[in-house]
């Protein structure tokens, strides 16, 4: 289960799980230290700098296993969001690789990049719903990567997609809300729509960028429960950025602590101790 276990002979990317993805760039040479077998996502030396010479993310390497909930904690401005956004390439990394289903996402462009994004669902801090569209339209926008323009223009979505969207709305607890406009919903309801939209993609990986930071404590727990439960049912790994350490402890199988663009803690929640938190956030007064 470690990278050293398979030296060099990783040239069989088609054997990876999840055969749904067409492997357009499978021929691209893989770095010698290939992804760990059984890991859904493998980051290697990922570096992102918005301003040249001042990287926000400084050579982060991570292996994410299937079916796990990973919480990334750390102070504001430490590169948590950048890390998540680099995975689905809303942010372009300066160097390093992101291996996902036999492809290096860091090198994808155009059509291949969009195809890869279709497999990765994302939930946002401020929900990022299209406010003036209906709840149904927002959920269905999870299918936009796979539908031709004329269907989207005419709102002629396949019946199968529409009934799946209804199912998803049931599952996130918004049955009966399909025809409402997104801007008529409360924060918690909007985030549920955001989750349904991400699941509508039928993703192989779920990313959530501070999904509970704009919500009250009770709703935060409900949203985390919903996300971990739905991701667990589908066997999809879930990577969540968050500020609330208690929520991370409660829901994650693994916690990654970041500070100053580096990973400074990586382990199961029960091994996260005060001195780690001190290292991640600095200061001590807030811990008591």
Partner 1 sequence: MADLSRTPSPSDARDDGLRSSWLARLGWLALLAYVVYALSILNFNVARMLAGLANAAELLGRMFPPLFSRADLRELMFAGLLESLQIAVLASAVGILVSLPLGVLAARNLMPAWLSWIARGVIMLCRSFHPIIVAILFVKAVGFGALAGILALIVASIGFIAKLFAEAIEEISLKQVEAVRATGAGFFNMLIFAVLPQVNARFIGFATYQLDSNLRNSTMVGIVGGGGIGGTLQAAFGRFDYDFVCAILITIIAMIMIGEILSQRLRAIFL
Please report, as ranges, the residues that interact with partner 1 according to CB under 8 A: 88, 90, 114-122, 124, 126, 128-133, 137, 141-147, 149, 152-153, 194, 197, 201
Q: How far is the CB of 121 from partner 1 (least distance, A)?
A: 8
Of residues 93, 70, 108, 96, the one with CA closest to residue 241:
70
- Residue 111 Cβ vs partner 1, minimum distance, rounded to whole Å: 8
State the nearest-atom distance from the C-beta of 3 to partner 1, in Å: 29
CB 124 to partner 1: min, Å: 6
In this structure, the strands spanning 39-48 and 57-65 are: antiparallel
- Closer by beta carbon to partner 1, 33 or else 113: 113
d(CA 248, CA 173): 23
| Cβ nearer to partner 1, comparing 130 with 175 | 130
Determine the Cα–Cα distance for residues 105 and 117; give it in Å rounded to an integer.
Answer: 9
Q: Where are the beta strands (DSSP E) in 15-112?
A: 39-48, 57-65, 69-73, 95-100, 103-104
Shortest Cβ distance from residue 84 to partner 1 (Å)?
10
CA 245, CA 241: separation in Å to the nearest integer?
10
Q: For partner 1, which is the closer residue by CB, 194 or 237?
A: 194
What distance in Å separates the CA atoms of residue 16 and residue 3, rounded to the nearest whole number?
Answer: 15
CB of 251 to partner 1, least distance (A): 22
Q: d(Cα 125, Cα 217) in Å, to the nearest integer?
A: 14
CA distance 62 to 64: 6
- State which residue, 146 or 259, has the beta carbon closest to partner 1: 146
Q: How far is the CB of 35 from partner 1 (least distance, A)?
A: 22
Cα–Cα distance measured from residue 270 to residue 250, given in angstroms and rounded to the nearest whole number: 10
H or E element in which residue 251 lies: helix 245-251
Between 117 and 254, CB nearer to partner 1: 117
Nearer to partner 1, 16 or 85 (CB): 85
Identify which of residues 79 and 121 has a Cβ nearer to partner 1 in the complex.
121
């Amino acid at each position: 289960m470690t990278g050293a276990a398979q030296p060099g002979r990783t040239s069989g990317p088609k054997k990876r799980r999840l055969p749904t993805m067409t492997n357009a760039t499978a021929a691209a040479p893989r770095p010698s230290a290939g992804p760990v077998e059984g890991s859904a996502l493998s980051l290697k030396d990922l570096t992102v700098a918005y301003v040249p010479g001042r990287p926000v993310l400084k050579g982060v390497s991570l292996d994410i296993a299937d079916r796990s909930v990973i919480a990334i904690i750390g102070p504001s401005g430490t590169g948590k969001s950048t890390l998540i956004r680099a995975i689905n390439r809303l942010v372009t990394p300066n160097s390093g690789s992101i291996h996902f289903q036999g492809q290096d996402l860091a090198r994808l462009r155009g059509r291949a990049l969009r195809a890869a994004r279709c497999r990765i669902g994302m939930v946002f801090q401020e929900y990022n719903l299209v406010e003036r569209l209906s709840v149904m339209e927002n959920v269905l926008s999870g299918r936009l990567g796979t539908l031709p323009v004329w269907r989207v223009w005419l709102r002629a979505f396949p019946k199968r997609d529409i009934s799946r969207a209804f199912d998803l709305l049931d599952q996130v607890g918004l049955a009966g809300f399909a025809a409402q406009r997104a801007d008529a919903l409360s924060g918690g309801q909007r985030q549920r729509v955001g989750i349904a939209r991400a699941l509508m993609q039928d993703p192989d990986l779920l990313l959530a960028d501070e999904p509970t930071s704009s919500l009250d404590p009770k709703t935060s727990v409900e949203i985390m429960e919903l996300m971990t439960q739905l991701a667990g049912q589908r066997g999809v790994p879930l990577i969540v950025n968050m500020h609330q350490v208690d929520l991370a402890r409660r829901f994650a199988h693994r916690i990654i602590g970041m500070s100053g663009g580096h990973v400074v803690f990586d382990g199961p929640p029960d091994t996260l101790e005060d001195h780690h938190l001190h290292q991640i956030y600095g200061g001590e007064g807030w811990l008591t």
